[in-house]
Chains A and B, each alone.
Chain A
Amino acid sequence: MRSVRAIVRAGFDRAEASLGRAFPPAWNPLLNLGALGFFFYWIVVGSGIYVYSFFDTGITQAYASIEYMTHEQWYLAGVMRSFHRYASDALVIVAVLHLLREFGRDRYRGVRWFSWVTGMVVLVLVFVAGITGYWLVWDELAQYVAIVTTEWFDALGIFGEPVARNFLAPSTLDSRFFTLMVFIHIAVPLIALVLLWVHLQRVAKPRINPPRGLALGSFVALLVLSLAHPAASRGPANLATVPDEVGLDWFYLAAYPLLETLPAPFTWATALFLAALALAIPWLPPMRMARPARIDLANCNGCSRCFADCPYNAITMVPRSDGAPFAAEARVDPSLCVRCGICAGACPTAIPFRRAHALSPGIDLPDLSIGFLRERVEAEGARLAGRGRVMVFGCGEGVPLEGLASERIGVVRLACSGQLPPSFVDYVLARDLADGVLVTGCAENACHARFGVAWTEARFARSRDPHLRQRVPPERLRTLWAGRLGRGALEAELRAFARSLEALPPVAPPRRVPGPRAPAEVHRA
């Protein structure tokens, strides 16, 4: 499974990087798949409402009403019909890509199982809605879809008589069955919308709207496609004939030729196996995760910065329980915590300058603690020599850092770039552990923990707590958000940074040997 994930991820990394040449990070379509899904969903709903106002639900009138829209009122209803179809296709495309991307980035296991499973159910509902939509046109394709679908369900043997008998001949056609399809086609997307809301319950500040530039581009692309290649019906359904070649919508109906030609027991077994696999995959194998973030109440003043910064709603603020003179305290829900450490990076007590006691911030990752990071910083700083020394802070999901350390480059790994309290930058420079600091991680707008890059930039820009101290010279701090393919860019950036640091005067405070202090609490990277 790991190698499959690696292949998928490598493909997405390359595709994202390629699109990144044309799109700004905020507009990159592959970095906005979920938001694009919502965008196409709303287009489908809006165009569907318009089309439905002209749609005649009688089984003999349905085809004629759609033909009227397509040919008589092509300039509006016809375009709306095309929007309805192509946005549905685009919805499936972005939903499947979204699923694959999350799989490749291993963001479906552990505490993220919930989003995966609910997303799978939504995807099935999208297919149900799309397939019933083709049914309603009641052209030759609809006839094909209706017959293959009902034959497949009949193979279960749970119906009193074959449902496909409804489509045996024109005289057996039942309008009530058709009305049922209309109901399903409207009800299922509404159920999907409710499930989408559930799907997003475990993420904070979900992006459900694409950036304006991407939305505009997608809309115009759909409009051009609708005008250049309008959605059209085939000939009217006629149960007395077998439809000639049917132009399948392969985004929705790719399985139909298989359902038609392979034995039903095999296709049912395959479908059920794949469905079970899709639902069980977050536990195949179960994710071995580090311990979740932990509150140290003695150092928590209830400031709620961790609550504000957590990307996964894992932190809540609750009334104080220890009698300390603060209104609230943070509480971590381990079932939601992804161990990104962004909360520790937000904590005002995560300050490496503290010496009196063990460095134990109000909230911390037990297995990659702030105290341990300080030890690593000091160890790396003590190793560096010469001019143009750079301390690199990087996350495990961004630019690969293997083999980067050298006499002039120190490397400290973080769970996420957002785990780094800005005071560490000040600490490195004030203690003369390096001449400059470079923070690197995932590509912009592609943070593995969602907000690590954004919060880090905002903290460094002093627009989000905790602020970077004013005394940190900006020329001694750089960030590079390049993702896994950014090793070359990182090395180039490091060379340029080192040269610029060499041209600067030495860091003002002399190198100081740290005084004795209590050891850090946890010691595992």
Chain B
Amino acid sequence: MPSPAQWAGQVLFYAVAAGVTGLFASWPSWSRLPPGQAQITIAFAHGGARKEACRKLTPEEIASLPAHERRPSDCRRERVPLRFELVLDDRPLLARTLPPSGLSRDGPSQLYEKLAVPSGRHTVTVRLADSGRASGFDYESRFELELRPRQNLAIDFEPDRGGFFVR
């Protein structure tokens, strides 16, 4: 049978163990975003144009194909990389060339980026080239925004909705 001192020692151990468990279960706190900052999250997945235009097959070429593989044109799968830019208040904040995904480089290009920006009034311009053009952009949107501290502004892209939009 433990002595009173041993009982006391056990109580002390349990108290310390419970205290440490409870303490580090929620402390210390962590925050990456500095006070007064907001966040712009830009995220989309979009496939660029094919790297090579489809070529019409000649009747002879079509005839030479197995019956179940006959098709009017031959299209290579590889897509062009996208070019993306985000400008905040006329200051370039992000510029990326987004390669297509997939082993055959035929999947959609992806972008997921979080940018910490000062809260307040901003003009955000986003541009995207998906046709493989060397200069200029195929899509461009400009947003006048009032960002609150800790606000998360999500910018998405869907061609069917006309390009960039704020969620």
Interface residues of A (CB under 8 A from B): 19, 21-24, 27, 29, 85-86, 89-90, 93, 151, 154, 157, 160-162, 164-165, 168-169, 171-172, 217-218, 220-222, 224-225, 228-229, 231, 239-251, 256-257, 260-261
Contact = CB atoms under 8 A, between A and B. Distances in A.
A31 to B, nearest CB: 13
A89 B107 contact: no
B154 A157 contact: no
A448 B17 CA distance: 26
A50 B19 CA distance: 25
B110 interface: yes
A246 B25 contact: no
Interface residues of B, number: 42
B135 interface: no
Contact of B112 (A162, A224, A248, A250): A162
A85 B18 CA distance: 12
A507 to B, nearest CB: 37
B21 to A, nearest CB: 5
10 contacts: A21-B6, A22-B10, A23-B2, A86-B18, A157-B110, A165-B43, A169-B154, A240-B152, A247-B26, A247-B28
B151 A218 contact: no
A172 B167 contact: yes
Contacts, number: 129
A220 B45 CA distance: 52
A162 B29 contact: no
Interface string B7-19: 0111011110111
A349 B112 CA distance: 73
B43 A168 contact: yes
The list of the 10 closest CB pairs from A to B, nearest first, reads A22-B9, A161-B45, A169-B167, A247-B26, A245-B29, A221-B14, A225-B18, A169-B154, A162-B112, A245-B31
A131 to B, nearest CB: 14
A151 B112 contact: yes
A164 B112 contact: yes
A147 B93 CA distance: 22
Contacts of A21: 6, 9
B27 A165 contact: no
A213 to B, nearest CB: 9
B20 to A, nearest CB: 8
A241 B22 contact: no
Contact of A22 (B13, B22, B43, B108): B13
B6 A23 contact: yes
Contact of B18 (A154, A157, A224): A224
Contact of A157 (B14, B19, B101): B101
A24 B2 CA distance: 7
Nearest to B37: A242
A251 B151 contact: no
Residue picked from A86, A93, A245, A261, most chain B C-beta under 10 Å? A245
Given A93-B21, A161-B108, A165-B43, A242 B14 contact: no
Nearest to A29: B13
